[in-house]
Structure 1
Amino acid sequence: MTTVLRTEDLRKQFGDLVAVGGVSLAFDDEQITSIIGPNGAGKTTFYNLLTGVLEPTGGEIWLRRDDELREITDAPPHKVARSGLSRSYQITNIFERLTVRENLQVARIIHEGRTFDMRSRPEADEELNAAIDELLELTNLTAIAETPCDELSHGEKRNVEIALALAIEPTVFLLDEPTAGMNPTETEEIVSLIRQLNEDIDATFVVTEHDMDVVTGISDRIVVLAEGAVLADGDPQTVLRDERVTEAYLGSETV
């Protein structure tokens, strides 16, 4: 296995509040890792540090790109994304009035740095549309490619957001509550999609999730955060049998 993302003593304080307190983790390319913990455990802050939304109080962040780990600790969000770290959010973030295909065209054009190329016509760009067709097929969106996004179901919109994040060709893909608000059928479909994508593309998936059925069904590894620190880290069976985890989280409604 190859390390694709690493943090070393990563810290974030807001005044006297320690939101992330010295987290050192390495994420490998062959694993789907789930990060769990109660509200206030530091999961969202940790994601915001990784993606450049927040500046760390201390520590380092390293991301693999072109077969080399490179430090991105102080990089702004757009440079982090271009370096290969992509993220989806709990709330869908798409252009509702555009079709699925048009949303993906926008994401791909921005990723390729052609935002201000006024001569470019997406519908006439064979290379662009070949890439979009591949994304649509990978994320099971081909049948609704020409549908405006405001006509999609919640589950379909989540698929579109995953496709948008994949449009930048990430090395690491952070998913924030990917099944939030979904019914059981949609949840099963998303879990299956993530598993399939993990096999089909060269990207590493890191997931935050409250649904323990999803966590156990999708994870090769589970990291438990508590009060901004790592409480447990390992394979699902080992972590979920850890008495500290059982007592602190699995007996409560929020995990």
Structure 2
Amino acid sequence: MDLLQVKNVSKHVEGFSGTRQLILTDVNFTINSVDSFTSILAPYGAGKTTLLKTIAALEVKHNGEIKLFEKIYDKCGKGIAYIPENPSSFPWLDVKGNILLEQKISGMQKTKKLQTEHFISLVGLSGYEDYFPANKSNGFRFRVSLARALSAEPKLILIDDCFKKMTEETREELYKLLKNINEKKEVSFLLASTNVNEVLRLSTKVFLMKNNPGTIFGTLNIDQKEIPQKISDYTNQIEKLFRNEKMLNSINIYV
């Protein structure tokens, strides 16, 4: 049974002049495995955020179907979690309070709430339970958002290009963290990014997306056993595919 199916998804938005603008058109892809790490590589403005929010049922007006385990997913809630580009938190709550409130919103049972310390430890924030994330670094806030997402026990977490404003050191730490969580089969991930190096480092499958309007035009399977040794070979393949679409300058090939 497939984890996620996106079938013929198209979406319009209303422009300032009252005209309708096509943002996504005939987006199709499938995530088969329940313990996968998949990425969408796309240029800025291709509709990555719109697509992820649509998958998460945060934006519900669209054509086409989105299915989670063969069932239509059209209500935001259990099953899929979304981490926005600028990871957010409840600013009046500390780390532990953020997770507890997320669990309450998600309708978790009291017995499950006892796992709060597990999620804090899982994202590397043990000892920081009483810290307030609102004034901390992007990396810290991402960890809190990840813990919140995990605490709701989703099958799939969507990550919206969160790492571009972070230092290289922080990115490396978070890459390792995500791969470790994924390898433990805690959850599957779908990352949207403009960074070729990033998606190659993390993913076993990459969907290539172009803009005007946004649609998936290619797929690349990645053998993580060949990374980083053959990362340049995969990069060249991606470069060729985007060049064929006349979009090579729209993505971060060497970052």
Q: Same fold (TM over 0.5)?
A: yes
Partner residue of 2:218?
232
Which residue among 130, 137, 151 is the counterpart of 1:167? 151
Which residue among 158, 183, 201 is the counterpart of 2:185? 201
Matched to 1:230, the amino acid is I
Partner residue of 2:76?
80
Matched to 1:21, the amino acid is T
Q: Which runs of 5+ in 2 are unaligned?
A: 14-18, 223-232
**What is the CA–CA distance in structure 1 between the aligned matches of 2:20 and 2:194, rounded to whole Å?**
27
Partner residue of 1:93?
88
Which residue among 237, 248, 254 is the counterpart of 1:241? 237
1:61 Cα deviation (Å)? 0.8
1:246 Cα deviation (Å)? 4.1
Partner residue of 2:200?
216
Partner residue of 2:40?
35
Which residue among 13, 17, 22 is the counterpart of 1:18? 22
**What is the CA–CA distance in structure 2 between the aligned matches of 1:239 and 1:56, rounded to whole Å?**
35
**What is the CA–CA distance in structure 2 between the aligned matches of 1:172 and 1:235, rounded to whole Å?**
19
Partner residue of 2:6?
7
Matched to 1:244, the amino acid is L
1:244 Cα deviation (Å)? 2.8
Alignment pair present for 1:179 and 2:163 = yes
1:214 Cα deviation (Å)? 1.4
1:200 Cα deviation (Å)? 1.7
Matched to 1:159, the amino acid is R
Change (3 A) 1:113 1:177: same
Q: How many residues align?
A: 233
Three-state SS of the structure 2 residue aligned to 1:144 is: coil
Three-state SS of the structure 1 residue aligned to 2:114 is: helix
**What is the CA–CA distance in structure 2 between the aligned matches of 1:151 and 1:59, rounded to whole Å?**
40
**What is the CA–CA distance in structure 2 between the aligned matches of 1:143 and 1:104, rounded to whole Å?**
15
**What is the CA–CA distance in structure 2 between the aligned matches of 1:235 and 1:88, rounded to whole Å?**
24
Q: 1:76-95 CA deviation, whole Å, 9 max, x = no partner?
A: xxx3322x110000112102
Which residue among 146, 151, 154 is the counterpart of 2:138? 154
Q: 1:165-204 CA deviation, whole Å, 9 max, x = no partner?
A: 1111001110011213110110001111110111123421
Partner residue of 1:53?
58
Matched to 1:204, the amino acid is S
Matched to 1:17, the amino acid is Q
1:56 Cα deviation (Å)? 4.1
Q: 1:104-132 CA deviation, whole Å, 9 max, x = no partner?
A: 11111221268xxxxxxxxxx6x355310
Range moving further from structure 2, 160-169 or 53-62: 53-62
1:31 Cα deviation (Å)? 2.5
1:139 Cα deviation (Å)? 0.8
Q: Structure 1 length normalisation: TM-score? A: 0.82
Three-state SS of the structure 2 residue aligned to 1:136 is: helix
Is the CA contact (8 Å cut-off) linking 2:3 and 2:31 kept in structure 1? Answer: yes
Q: Structure 2 length normalisation: TM-score? A: 0.82
**What is the CA–CA distance in structure 1 between the aligned matches of 2:27 and 2:251, rounded to whole Å?**
25
Is the CA contact (8 Å cut-off) linking 2:196 and 2:252 kept in structure 1? Answer: no
Is the CA contact (8 Å cut-off) linking 2:89 and 2:134 kept in structure 1? Answer: no
* Aligned-CA RMSD value: 2.3
Change (3 A) 1:205 1:49: same
